[in-house]
Amino acid sequence: MERDYPLAKVRNFGIIAHIDAGKTTTSERILYYTGEIHKIGEVHEGETTTDWMEQERERGITITAAAITCFWNKTDLPDRTKKETKYRFNIIDTPGHIDFTVEVKRSLRVLDGAVVVFDGVAGVEPQSETNWRYADEGNVPRICFINKLDRTGGSFERSFQSILNRLNKNAVRMQLPIGEEDKFEGVIDLLKMKAFFFEGEMGGTIVEKEIPAEYLESAKKYRNELVEKIVERDEKLMNEYFEGKVPPVDVLKKLLREACLKVEIVPVFTGSALKNKGVQLVLDAVVDYLPSPLDIPPIKGIDPNTDQIIERHADDSEPFSALAFKLQSDPFVGQLTFFRVYSGTLEAGSYIYNVTSGKKERLGRIVRLQADKREEVKKVFAGEIAAAVGLKEAKTSDTFCDENHPIILERIKFMEPVISLRIEPKTKADQEKMGFALKRLSDEDPTFKVVADSETGETVIKGMGELQLEIMVDRMKREFGVEANVGKPQVAYKETIQGSADAEHKYIKQSGGKGQYGHVRITIKPLEPLVLAEGKKIPKNIHREEEFEFIDSIKGGVIPNEFIPAVEKGVKEAMERGIVAGYKMVNVSCELTFGSYHDVDSSEIAYKIAASQAFQDAAKRAKPVILEPIMKVEVVTPDKFMGDITGHLSSKRAVIDGMSERGMNKVIDAKVPLAEMFSYVTTLRSMSEGRASYTMEFDHYEAVPPNVATTIIEARK
């Protein structure tokens, strides 16, 4: 079976934005204009295609990233019906709400490009910045779409300036709007120097006209800026340009594409998805400026046999490699495992080798998704995104590959949860189903964790925010039929040390027969960032994890090698229990410096207990502190409530970072402890007659003040 679309004509991209910027409305327009749907569903009516979960339709927000495959012919072609001129788009519509930011992070990891949507009234918002940072981390090429220009307060120029000031100074205007707010009519293409209007049913007919006279001067000015930004990348063209010779449009486009692929220039487009203006030209821009799988560098991974870095190219003839980036429970077919193929091909019915778990599974079916509908495919090729049906062992971030040519691709890193809830089943029948439901939900979302409280035996669920946990409990009820009682949200505190200390402990037990003997001396200190010289590896005696480091400095075999892992295990178990208030300890470096052993009595359990006791002893003397999550909060409020809101935030231990204006409103940026933010939405509404709103996302952990620490410790007793 041959590939139906050449790789150069494939675009894998995501649609990302702050909540309520109009991502899902834009996705609906894309499906309509690409012929995938014949009736447009609106978010406010709860009828969209990509928001297919009941909770998404009720709340009017996107919760899970939806994958869509569709096809596009550029608008400037004389005949747009030909299959051979079409491009295949694999699109992921991601959530904007901060509690589901994991969906954006993992989607950007497997996509080649992104369309970043902005609200034309608000411009850059907090989640826009977070998503932009994720895209920067992955060096993902992107184009911007300033949406909602038809809204009262919509301003292309103000939104564009916010992109320059807060995201990337190399953003360039590709278009200008013709009118704004209720007078928004169309757009001016600054490369072609033409005006475009969107007429007929759903704006499906694009009409090209000359630029209206009143916009000509500003269009010329901004075109010069755009051309200058493009030609400065080519010395010969730049010299010719300053001599008065302007390169033709196709040459400018080629240069701009090269710059966009290197994230050296970010093109900015505009329109209104709701009013059906401008979306088709953004799809043209996806073809023109976003990469195909051939344009991105080969994926790097580790050969598990040699530990060497190896590469895989987007080529069907190379050995198969793919990354699982999302699991989803499907009511009709069971577990779906979404994966991105980086090299080689995979056929339905064959066996898939999961190098991460070391297991093989038979791959029954492969499907391509158009949101809630699915199309079965017999084979997937390099550069494609698809979903496997019924893989039982696969987890997010697992690598699938050819067993004879193994490679482990870099895992997707997820943030630790900052909030928790106690949960208990209502009946005995619910109890049996709850464990299964929670496992499935935590497999789907790596920021959703389930733990058993060892002291009380209760089940605790953890996540990134109240909304996420609320929706998980709701999904348990709807999808798995589990009724549960939940407690109040709790902050996920942590503990750490601010000083260093050493300790020695001997665990000796003699009680007839074989005794127990374990003896260790350890030194602990705060964990420092690891800096390795180019090409250097972590020394073999250091075991490094994200929030913990274990250094084996035993010389001369004073503790036999087989007992060293037990020492590390004992330290980690003590860290789980904490020292100050029983919260997990993080960011600790522990060095095993000395010890002794007994020929007969030494055992793993003895060293584990000795290490645990030594750690507790050392940690008590190493200035232990409680850490709390600090949130980045943005409040948007009418001017008259500004004083009350800032005063109230200050009473919540907030640090006000700055204040600015956004249209008719004031914006307050602050860092506030999560513990102070529960039920803030109710307070904010009553303080502002329901007119202020806020967004909140995790920023960092920091030590709690002594008076707050005392309260936390008392509450744990």
Residues 396, 449 within the same domain: no
* 3-class state of residue 623 by DSSP: coil
Among candidate residues 196, 183, 252, 185, the one with its CA nearest the CA of residue 223: 252
Residue 222 forms part of a structural domain: no
- The whole-number pLDDT of residue 23 equals 66
The lowest-confidence range among 162-171, 374-383, 463-472 is 463-472
Residue 202 forms part of a structural domain: no
d(CA 683, CA 545) in angstroms, rounded, equals 41
Residue 34's φ and ψ, nearest 5 degrees, are: -90, 5
Q: What is the pLDDT of residues 289-317, one digit of tens each?
A: 999 999 988 888 888 888 788 889 988 88
Residue 217, phi-psi category: left (phi > 0), alpha (psi -120 to 50), beta (remainder): alpha
Of 28 and 656, the structure prediction assigns the larger pLDDT to: 656
Q: What is the pLDDT of residues 431-443, one digit of tens each?
A: 778 888 888 787 7
Question: 85 Cβ partners below 8 Å, 6+ apart?
Answer: 73, 74, 77, 79
Assign 54 a pLDDT band (cuts: 50, 70, 90). Answer: very low
- The whole-number pLDDT of residue 137 equals 79
Between CA 110 and CA 114, with CA 113 as vertex, the angle to 5 degrees is 105
- The whole-number pLDDT of residue 512 equals 66
Of 241 and 95, the structure prediction assigns the larger pLDDT to: 241
d(CA 503, CA 198) in angstroms, rounded, equals 75
Q: What is the pLDDT of residues 530-553, one digit of tens each?
A: 777 666 777 888 888 888 999 999
Which H or E element spans position 145? strand 142-147
Specify the CATH number for the domain of residue 370: 2.40.30.10
- The whole-number pLDDT of residue 521 equals 96
Q: Highest mean pLDDT range out of 109-118, 365-374, 705-714?
A: 705-714
Specify the CATH number for the domain of residue 469: 3.30.70.870
Q: Which amino acid is at 152?
A: T
- The whole-number pLDDT of residue 398 equals 86
How confident is the model over 55-65, as a mean pLDDT? 38
Token pair listed for 469: 């946990």
For tokens 């220009």, what's the residue?
Answer: 149
Assign 645 a pLDDT band (cuts: 50, 70, 90). Answer: very high
Q: Domain ends where: 409, 439, 471? A: 409
- The whole-number pLDDT of residue 409 equals 86
Which H or E element spans position 165? helix 156-166
Residue 205 forms part of a structural domain: no
* 3-class state of residue 546 by DSSP: coil
Contact 190, 268 (CB under 8 A): no
d(CA 250, CA 711) in angstroms, rounded, equals 67
- The whole-number pLDDT of residue 610 equals 96
Domain with 644, as residue range(s), is: 629-716
Sequence length of the chain is 717
Residues 475, 402 within the same domain: no
Assign 493 a pLDDT band (cuts: 50, 70, 90). Answer: very high
Residue 546's φ and ψ, nearest 5 degrees, are: -65, -40
d(CA 570, CA 609) in angstroms, rounded, equals 6
Q: Would you give the DSSP letter of residue 558?
A: S
Mean pLDDT of the chain: 83
d(CA 111, CA 131) in angstroms, rounded, equals 13
3-state secondary structure 418-454: CEEEEEEECCHHHHHHHHHHHHHHHHHCCCCEEEECC
Among candidate residues 55, 44, 52, the one with its CA nearest the CA of residue 20: 44
Whether the per-residue pLDDT at 231 is higher than 60: the answer is yes
Whether the per-residue pLDDT at 250 is higher than 80: the answer is yes
Among candidate residues 633, 662, 683, the one with its CA nearest the CA of residue 165: 662
Residue 282, phi-psi category: left (phi > 0), alpha (psi -120 to 50), beta (remainder): alpha
Sign of CA dihedral 447, 450, 453, 459: positive
Residues 135, 73 within the same domain: yes
Of 260 and 455, the structure prediction assigns the larger pLDDT to: 260
- The whole-number pLDDT of residue 691 equals 81
Residues 386, 303 within the same domain: yes
- The whole-number pLDDT of residue 61 equals 34
Residues 700, 583 within the same domain: no
How confident is the model over 208-231, as a mean pLDDT? 92
Assign 57 a pLDDT band (cuts: 50, 70, 90). Answer: very low
Whether the per-residue pLDDT at 46 is higher than 50: the answer is no
Specify the CATH number for the domain of residue 107: 3.40.50.300
Residue 207 forms part of a structural domain: no
3-state secondary structure 364-403: CEEEEEECCEEEEECEECCCCEEEEECCCCCCCCCEEECC
Question: 705 Cβ partners below 8 Å, 6+ apart?
Answer: 653
Assign 98 a pLDDT band (cuts: 50, 70, 90). Answer: very low
Helix, strand, coil shares of the chain, percent, nearest 5, are 30, 30, 35
Residues 161, 80 within the same domain: yes
Question: 695 Cβ partners below 8 Å, 6+ apart?
Answer: 18, 19, 98, 125, 126, 127, 633, 634
The lowest-confidence range among 52-66, 402-416, 509-523 is 52-66
The lowest-confidence range among 34-38, 61-65, 384-388, 688-692 is 61-65
Residues 458, 503 within the same domain: no
Q: Domain ends where: 380, 409, 438? A: 409
d(CA 696, CA 634) in angstroms, rounded, equals 7
Assign 99 a pLDDT band (cuts: 50, 70, 90). Answer: very low
Residue 199 forms part of a structural domain: no
What is the C-alpha radius of gyration for the chain, rounded to an integer number of angstroms? Answer: 28
Q: What is the pLDDT of residues 582-628, one digit of tens each?
A: 899 999 999 999 999 998 889 999 999 999 999 999 999 999 999 99
d(CA 51, CA 28) in angstroms, rounded, equals 10
The lowest-confidence range among 121-125, 368-372, 527-531, 569-573 is 368-372
Residues 12, 31 within the same domain: yes
Residue 74 forms part of a structural domain: yes
Residues 499, 488 within the same domain: no
Q: Which amino acid is at 590?
A: C
Q: Would you give the DSSP letter of residue 179?
A: S
Contact 683, 651 (CB under 8 A): no
Residue 210 forms part of a structural domain: no
For tokens 């491009």, what's the residue?
Answer: 87
Residues 76, 144 within the same domain: yes
For tokens 């502002």, what's the residue?
Answer: 688
Contact 184, 215 (CB under 8 A): no
d(CA 27, CA 92) in angstroms, rounded, equals 9
Residue 241 forms part of a structural domain: no
- The whole-number pLDDT of residue 266 equals 94
The DSSP secondary structure of 591-609, one letter per residue, reads EEEEEE--TTTB-HHHHHH
Specify the CATH number for the domain of residue 607: 3.30.230.10
Residues 384, 431 within the same domain: no
Assign 337 a pLDDT band (cuts: 50, 70, 90). Answer: confident
- The whole-number pLDDT of residue 463 equals 82
Q: Domain ends where: 372, 390, 409? A: 409
- The whole-number pLDDT of residue 507 equals 93
Residues 656, 705 within the same domain: yes
d(CA 98, CA 75) in angstroms, rounded, equals 35
**How many domains, in total, are found in the chain?**
5
Count CB atoms within 10 A of the CB of residue 343.
Answer: 26
Question: How much is the pTM?
Answer: 0.71
Whether the per-residue pLDDT at 43 is higher than 60: the answer is no
